[in-house]
Copies of this chain bind each other. A is one copy, B any other.
């Protein structure tokens, strides 16, 4: 009847994948349990509601993400160095486990308020890099917020392209080109 084996990991992985594949609302607790190989109740030992599961999954992965970002930042100096390193890091993460990447993209809107100006917030991070580059005269004056949005678009959309089969895997192979596009963009005001 009872089968006390540690299933927390399996539950969370199943949830992560299903949320990405079918959306959060499109995934039932029953489906998560079923894919994890447990009964529905098992889920509630680890998370007190479906919503709680979503949040836990988000913050857990978000923090790993943030840690990676911090590491990259600490190891590189100046936009020309840092941006390519970040692009490669993002793309590497996507290639390694696109579910994690996509899940963060998927639910960030709903949870964004709680993370708004957190320096682990990737958008915020890019924004800081841009502002710092402007301040240090590494790039011409420009609307930092708009540039940030454009840079984010350059990084995220190839991942979306891979997902929908338009862009070839692995994503890292496109890192050099995307990095160049990013750097060119930053210099756009020059001419």
Contact = CB atoms under 8 A, between A and B. Distances in A.
B166 A157 contact: no
Copies of the chain in the assembly:
4
A69 B122 CA distance: 32
Contacts of A188: 177, 180-181, 184
A156 interface: yes
A177 B24 CA distance: 36
> From DSSP, what is the main secondary structure of chain A's interface residues?
helix
Interface in A156-191: 156-158, 160-161, 164, 166-168, 174, 177-178, 180-181, 184-185, 188
Interface residues of A, number: 35
A112 B163 CA distance: 12
A46 to B, nearest CB: 15
Interface stretch (A53-61, A77-85, A143-151): A143-151
Contacts of A155: 153
A148 B26 CA distance: 29
Nearest to A182: B150
Given A123-B166, A153-B154, A161 B180 contact: no
13 contacts: A145-B166, A146-B158, A146-B161, A146-B167, A150-B154, A150-B158, A150-B178, A152-B153, A152-B161, A153-B154, A153-B158, A180-B188, A184-B185
Interface of A: 23-26, 109, 112, 123, 127, 143, 145-146, 148-150, 152-158, 160-161, 164, 166-168, 174, 177-178, 180-181, 184-185, 188
